[in-house]
Amino acid sequence: MLLTIDIGNTNTVAGVFDNGRLIDHFRVASNHALTVDECGFFMTGLVERMGIKSSELDRVVIGSVVPSLTPVYEKMSEKYFKIKPLLVSSAVKLPIKIAYDDPSAVGADRIANAVAAFDKFGGPIIIVDFGTTINFDVVTTDGQYLGGAIAPGPEMSASQLAAKAARLFEVRIEKPAHAIGKNTAESIKSGLFYGTVGQVDKIIDNICEELGAKPKVIGTGGLAGDFQNHSKYIESIHPALTLEGLKIISDYQSS
């Protein structure tokens, strides 16, 4: 069995695959002060909640964009699962080509998303990942990862509004009842929600124009479902896309 771990700035997602099937997965807040032992107790507990014994795991793959947490999870895997994990980066063997100016600068989450999307749908394809940031990743018909765009996510924008403006505050990210807010909370919700939709569609507009092709567009990430039906481009949502990409990359090392 394969344990996949996607470590993000805001959330960490872990899932277990058995014979290519995702048994279950969990999304929890990323604790940047996590110790190896805390991580071990937490991860073994998650695995056991899936009805799996730790001894049944034979592989661990980690995709991390949090440098301080990468060694914590790496050491946790070795100590608690007795497995040296695969750390995903542009340096490992990949089923796509990284055509970025500096391949080492591409985050593990972006690599995993690109690999999974290309495996599922081929190219050209744009992946929109709604996380702390909104990542736009582009893969061509022949499997070249070109790059994309990185924009602030709605939760980051909400935090900055509250931090920088004395009379504003954080609100829940959700579709407002009206575009014209009648109070401060509704006004912030409207700006954040429709601002995000407009940002996403405009960036995709520009990417499509530059590509000179009509790509498939898919979404992933914790907030993707909130925006799917409001973007004119996003065709489908794939919540476990990053984990699926990590699995494919792990499998590819022995191919």
Query: Model confidence over 36-57: pLDDT tens digits?
Result: 999 999 999 989 988 899 899 9
Catalytic residue, from 109, 137, 201, 226: name it. Answer: 109
In the block, residue with structure tokens 């969990």: 26
Domains of the chain: which residue ranges?
2-87, 97-246
d(CA 49, CA 36): 20
- Looking at residue 166, what is its pLDDT? 57
Rounded CA Rg of the chain:
19
Specify the CATH number for 97-246; select among 3.40.5.90, 1.10.10.60, 3.30.420.40, 2.40.40.20.
3.30.420.40
Question: Which pair of tokens denotes residue 196?
Answer: 């995000």
H/E element, 149:
strand 144-152
CATH number for region 2-87: 3.30.420.40
Question: Which pair of tokens denotes residue 57?
Answer: 């795991």
112 closest CA partner among 213, 13, 39, 207? 13
- Looking at residue 155, what is its pLDDT? 80
Is 1 in contact with 121 (CB distance < 8 Å)?
no
Question: Which pair of tokens denotes residue 44?
Answer: 């073994």
> What confidence tens digit (pLDDT) does each residue in 154-190 have?
888 777 777 767 566 677 778 888 999 888 888 988 9
| pLDDT over 60 (residue 58) | yes
Query: What amino acid occupies position 28?
Result: V
Taking CA atoms, 192 is separated from 181, 200, 234, 247, in Å, by 12, 12, 18, 34
User: For the chain, what is the mean pLDDT?
Assistant: 92
Is 15 in contact with 240 (CB distance < 8 Å)?
yes
| pLDDT over 90 (residue 213) | no
Antiparallel, parallel or unpaired: β 97-98 and 125-130: unpaired
17 closest CA partner among 33, 30, 6? 6
- Residue 109 is a catalytic residue: yes
Give the residue-averaged pLDDT of 187-208: 93
The phi and psi torsions of 155 (rounded to 5 degrees) equal -70, -35
Antiparallel, parallel or unpaired: β 2-7 and 11-18: antiparallel
Question: Which pair of tokens denotes residue 169?
Answer: 């505050």
Same-fold call for 2-87 versus 97-246 = yes
> What confidence tens digit (pLDDT) does each residue in 129-163 have?
998 899 999 999 999 999 999 999 888 877 777 77
Give the residue-averaged pLDDT of 17-21: 92
- Looking at residue 215, what is its pLDDT? 97
